[in-house]
Amino acid sequence: MEIKLEDLHPAFQGVIPSEIITCSADGEPNATAISQVYYVDSHHVALSFQFFGKTNRNIEENPQVAVMVIHPETGVSYHLDLRFVRRETEGDTFDEMDMQLMAIASMTGMEGVFKLRGADIYEVKAITKIDDWD
C-alpha cells in the first residue's frame, strides 16, 4: 500500500525528534538530530535550518538526504528520501515553523539555543515504512 505524506501528519508535530543523514560530495555520511520536519504539501516537507554546520554544507554539495520520523501514536518509524529544493527565510511556512520551533524549544528546555534561520523545502522522493508491527 502506498504511504502518503498526509498519513504521517502526527509525526510532524515535533513530539519525537527526527534524525537526518546527509552525504558530502566525497561520500562521507553525516548524521544529526533535527528539531522539525514540517508538512508543506502532499509532495514536500520543510526541515528546520538552525545551524551553519556540516549538514548545511553537505546539502549544498549533495541535495539528497534521508530523514527518519516516528509516528507518535503508533511508534512506527518511516524513512523519507528527500531532495533539497530551496530555502525560505520568510513567508507563511517560515513563520509557522518559527512558532512551532519556539514551542518545541520551550517543551525541551532549549529556549535560547534553538533559532530558525530558514525553512528548507524538500521534495519527498520516497516513503518507506521501517517497522512492521502495526
Binding site for another protein (CB under 8 A): 15-16, 19-23, 25, 27-33, 51, 53-54, 62, 64-68, 70, 72, 74-75, 77, 79, 81, 108-110, 113-114, 130-131, 133
**Strand, coil or helix: what is 10?**
helix
Minimal distance in Å, beta carbon 116 to another protein? Answer: 13
Least distance from another protein to the Cβ atom of residue 50, Å? 9
Comparison of 53 and 99: residue with beta carbon closer to another protein: 53
- Grid cell for residue 70: 516516528
d(CA 129, CA 127): 7
First to last CA, the chain: 13
CB of 12 to another protein, least distance (A): 16
Rank residues 81 and 96 by Cβ distance to another protein and give the closer one: 81
Cβ proximity of 79 and 65 under 8 Å: no
Min dist. Cβ of residue 11 to another protein (A):
13
